Structure 1
Amino acid sequence: MSNIKQKFDLTGKVAIVTGSSKGIGLSIAKGLAENGAKVVISSRKQEAVDAVAAEFNSAGLEAVGIACHIGQSEQREALVAKTMEKYGRIDILVNNAAINPFYGPLETSNEEVFDKIMNVNVKAPWLLSNLVHPHMKAQGGGSIINIASVEGVHPGFRLGLYSVTKSALIMLTKNQAKEWGRHGIRSNVVCPGLIKTKFSEALWSNEKLIAGYEQMVPLSRMADPDEMAGVVMLLASDAGSYMTGGVYAADGGYLISG
């Protein structure tokens, strides 16, 4: 019988994590590196990714920083090309980078905001996945992990456009899984609940909103960014070798409450 601990081992694997200079992305990148993967730290600013990579390296982890604004095609292409140049393979892609430039009712937003949020939250993960696809196919497989949100499953208030993008990302994941499974490429989606990061500060800095949230969710609290890394380790590794097309919530029970 094979050893389950060994199945979580990512030694020799190469992972790209977008939006990984802080928040959930940073926790995921750290988890992958601690499990043996060579990790590409990526976000918009080179100095930010270099700082994280240096921190990882000094802790004995293998990482390199490659800046990329995922909303721009030439930068996406450069991210994949530089990763291949540096490591020669791509085993894991975590599409984590996302934006939410608007908080308010649907009818008070505008087309410019819609285009911007769709471009980064849906179009970029689709195209970035397409860029890694031939490399994963050539090596006989890989794991794509898209980070959506419970907002993509259950509508909240004032996050309508963001919800639409996350719902689209869930369906993109299912289509990737369906089309690419025969090449050994798995695609799964993680739906976090409310997490204490800078990204969600507009929500958790509202004391009344937080009190209501904590009263509603079964675990009675917000999540820490580190609590999202575990499910990604499972989906990225051979421990999750038969998991594809799945939608996994890490939400303190948000989706079963209310």
Structure 2
Amino acid sequence: MASEIESPPSLLPREPGITGSLFKNDPFKKGTYTVPPLRKPQDRRSPCTACGRRKDWCDRAKPVCYLCAVEGRSYDYPLHSREANGRLERMHKAKAKASEAKELAWTRTCARWAEARCKVASSKAFCEELHSLLTLSQGYEIKPPTPYVSSVLRTLTSVLQVLDHVQGPADFETNHARIFKAQQIVSDTRLTTEGLAAEGSDYAYRTIAALLGEAETALQDIWTEWIILQEPDKLGRSGRSRRSSTKRKR
């Protein structure tokens, strides 16, 4: 009868495998048990461990495809889903292209930025010369533009101060509202100057309006490049949100 009684789990010989608690809920009764290691059958659509191709024509139990089995290759390719399918490499290439495109867009933005600053500086220089000429002159026909030219000069000085604060992408992101406001100020000043030039047909008004028009165009070109810089991230977020919404609907 003693031989028929089974030995407790703690006295059973251990075999290679997974060891653990026999009674997980009872802390006073513990032992060891052996679980054979599970081996999941590989899917026929899973990639080959040697070359990464799909094993559509092979047995599920074989880790390599038929061609690699004939050539004698096995386990040369790293068994990782992203690397096997080529998605990791494509992701790195896409990131490199995106960073390169952002660098090129920022270079173009800096070039447009320098051009706009030169346009505003040329407008300011013309207004300074005109203001000095008007203050030294004594004629009645050229005296009325003096207050307006001085106000335009103050406006362009403030715009140049805003432009001088920006040195890199971070400054551009923090000061873009002020830059846009400066562009609106330049646009309003140009419209007012064009109205005065249409009323009095003065050469000074027409020249100031032309210079301000060039400065406004240069500032608008800056914003077109900046929108190109910001759009890829927005498109990526919107695309992900669309995909998630379609999945929820399904």
Which TM-score applies when normalising by structure 1?
0.21
Looking at secondary structure, tell me which structure has more helix per residue. Answer: 2
- The structure with the largest strand share of the pair is 1
Rg: which structure is higher? 2
TM-score by length of 2: 0.22
